């Protein structure tokens, strides 16, 4: 792969709502993810056209629409810091801040990398941009566009989880796509369903969960540790990636397995496509790993925007997700009825969510650490 150029893209000055300088404090939902490794995503697009068309037409359009999108999502161009004078970490943005956009060219097999067949995970690592993170400061977002001449291109995204969750990240990507498509029109506004909401007051924290999480973080690796460095999470060299497709027929078969095992007592169970596919993946992974641990854990990320009282707007910028856990004995999930056991455990966890809400959230930071007798599979819906 050859790096063609690295651009620094600033939020468009065409926006009248772009502040010259602002800070955004982290809530307890954000602090929970402070030292979690960045989230990485790759999107592949077919583009069977000459290289000149990409660089002369498409790339300028991508850059301009990115600048327009950043005018709405300006914290993404800022930095995460934890100043000594601030109790909580904050996101700072000022005029002149930018997002790094790397443009590269690769002669690898586009169809192979974008396909669903099993392949070595490291084959796509070079398509992902590096996010600069130090003890004192962290970038929020880094982007990379990689052209595969006459075949297609990819967009790699690396983002800091303490600043945005999956919903906010997806909203930004959709906004970028919307403005890329509509940029011939003016003004460059977003529809209500994409316009970010920034007021932190809607996330109430009467139990001071933010201070509980910060206290736990400050104690890690020494006293008063205010470092922003994330946990080391290296992908094994022999890791394999692939896409597995469950058809409608497959989902129905999984549903019938549960119904038959329950002998008619499954009416109260949540047998959605999501639950069935997640449980199937969980069981397959546990069996494939042949784990020796006594218990296994499945972590589910739950969006709390519509579950808090009062509800948080769906376009809220930041994190508003928290974990739910399903824990079962390894021997049970490896048994003949392992799939049904998994479905029961996930249903129980989701049912308790209705009653408990944020109850027990003070223990989230502890439960996310892998115990010696547990093996965790985190599922990000």
- Highest mean pLDDT, choosing among 127-131, 359-363, 377-381: 127-131
d(CA 94, CA 77): 9
Which of the four pLDDT bands, split at 50, 70 and 90, describes residue 305? very high
- Highest mean pLDDT, choosing among 43-47, 214-218, 228-232: 43-47
Structural domains of the chain in order of their starting residue, each with its CATH number: 2-219 (3.30.559.10), 244-379 (3.30.559.10)
User: Would you state the pLDDT for residue 7?
Assistant: 99
The predicted-structure confidence for 113-138, as pLDDT tens digits, reads as follows: 999 999 999 999 999 999 999 999 99
Which of the four pLDDT bands, split at 50, 70 and 90, describes residue 374? very low
User: Would you state the pLDDT for residue 359?
Assistant: 85
User: Would you state the pLDDT for residue 62?
Assistant: 98
User: Would you state the pLDDT for residue 370?
Assistant: 43
Has residue 369 got a pLDDT over 80?
no
Please give the average per-residue pLDDT across 302-308, as a whole number: 94
User: Would you state the pLDDT for residue 322?
Assistant: 92
Q: Are the C-beta atoms of 170 and 69 separated by less than 8 Å?
A: no
- Phi and psi for 36 in degrees, rounded to 5? -80, 135
Which of the four pLDDT bands, split at 50, 70 and 90, describes residue 375? very low
Which of the four pLDDT bands, split at 50, 70 and 90, describes residue 373? very low
């Amino acid at each position: 792969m050859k790096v063609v150029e690295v651009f620094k893209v600033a939020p468009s000055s065409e926006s009248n709502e772009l502040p010259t300088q602002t800070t955004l404090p982290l809530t307890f939902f954000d602090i929970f993810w402070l030292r979690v490794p960045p989230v990485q995503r790759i999107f592949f697009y077919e583009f069977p056209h000459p290289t000149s068309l990409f660089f002369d037409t498409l790339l300028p359009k991508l850059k301009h629409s990115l600048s327009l999108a950043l005018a709405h999502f300006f914290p993404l161009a800022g930095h995460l810091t934890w100043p000594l004078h601030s109790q909580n970490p904050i996101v700072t943005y000022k005029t002149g801040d930018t997002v790094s956009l790397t443009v590269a060219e690769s002669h690898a097999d586009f169809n192979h990398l974008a396909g669903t067949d099993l392949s070595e995970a490291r084959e796509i690592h070079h398509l992902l941009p590096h996010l600069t993170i130090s003890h004192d400061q962290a970038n929020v977002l880094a982007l990379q566009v990689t052209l595969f001449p006459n075949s297609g291109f990819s967009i790699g995204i690396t983002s800091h989880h303490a600043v945005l969750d999956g919903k906010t990240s997806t909203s930004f990507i959709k906004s970028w796509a919307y403005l890329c498509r509509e940029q011939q029109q003016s003004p460059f506004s977003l529809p209500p369903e994409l316009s970010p909401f920034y007021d932190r007051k809607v996330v109430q924290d009467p139990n001071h969960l933010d201070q509980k999480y910060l206290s736990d973080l400050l104690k890690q690796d020494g006293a008063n540790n205010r470092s922003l460095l994330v946990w080391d999470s290296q992908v094994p060299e022999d890791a394999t990636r692939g896409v597995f497709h469950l058809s409608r027929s497959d989902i129905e078969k999984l549903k019938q397995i549960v119904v038959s095992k329950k002998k008619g007592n499954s009416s109260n169970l949540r047998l959605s496509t999501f639950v069935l596919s997640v449980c199937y993946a969980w069981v397959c992974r546990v069996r494939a790993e042949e784990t020796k641990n006594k218990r296994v854990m499945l972590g589910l990320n739950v969006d709390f925007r519509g579950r808090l009282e009062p509800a948080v707007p769906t376009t809220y910028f930041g994190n508003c997700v928290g974990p739910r856990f399903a824990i079962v004995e390894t021997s049970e999930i490896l048994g003949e009825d392992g799939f049904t056991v998994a479905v029961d455990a996930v249903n129980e966890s989701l049912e308790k969510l209705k009653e408990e809400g944020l109850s027990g959230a003070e223990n989230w930071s502890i439960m996310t650490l892998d115990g010696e007798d547990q093996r965790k599979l985190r599922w990000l819906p």
